[in-house]
Structure 1
Amino acid sequence: MLIRKTIVGFLLSLLKEYKLCLCIVELGLRHMRRSKLEIYIDILRALAYHGRLKPTHITYKANVNCSALKECLSFLQERNLVKEQVISKKRQKRKYYAITDLGLTALRNVKEINKSLQVFEEPNVTGIELPYENQRTPF
């Protein structure tokens, strides 16, 4: 139940961020900075694709600076989307991060949401009538 609640909460926040991103794209302001949501998704994608990674390698693969990465990783760890592993090698302890099953599920759900919302990005969507601004809508 807790896992389901966490996924639903995370997906709702993703959906809100995605709607904001769509507005930015419509206004032609796409060259702005990435949102936190996009950074979280890039980190999850890097960990899903490459497996267990050191923080330095995550910064390269997700294109995030070190201070932002620490903040994002702690956020993702609090929600059990990413786990930290400490591995000892030759008297050195190294931190690695890996995506959890919950993180993989959230990433799959983000892909599904993204796929279903791409319908609205296409310019030639037929069958949808948009009312004029001065007309009242039935809803």
Structure 2
Amino acid sequence: MAHTWRLEDSVIIRDGLPQLDLLAGDGGAAARHQLTARVDARYGRWGLNAALNWRGPSRLRRDLGVDGPMDLRLSSLTTVGVKASTTLARTATPSATERRRTEGLRLEVEIENLFDARPMATLGDGSPAPGYGRNDQDPLGRTVRMTLSRRF
């Protein structure tokens, strides 16, 4: 589990130019908080992996140092991913050195973005941001992947 909390995030490109406050939205939309949690479990021939990613809201200013009506305000975003796996067929009990090679057929089912979360954005005046419709930024949404593999 990891939590990032930025108290200050600024950049000076060179002398004579103003300082960019990234948390306020100058030069990029940096979220003040980010959280990542992962769980990996295995029991016999079964395996489960889960991941949760969250980032707080952020702002991208159009004009340096000033909040305005054309700024882009990004909402917080939470995504969850889950992967379950199992070994379907095992050969006769192998020795410890052969186990990795002859373990059998492996089936994995993975779901990325389990709850189909999408990035949301509005302009500084509260109106919808162009290009941030349901299918504009992330046309894929939830992804389900099934993999069948065998080590040789």
TM-score, structure 1 length as denominator?
Answer: 0.24
Q: Which structure has greater helix proportion?
A: 1
TM-score, structure 2 length as denominator?
Answer: 0.23
Q: Which structure has greater strand proportion?
A: 2
**Structure with bigger RCO (C-alpha 8 Å, 6+ apart):** 1
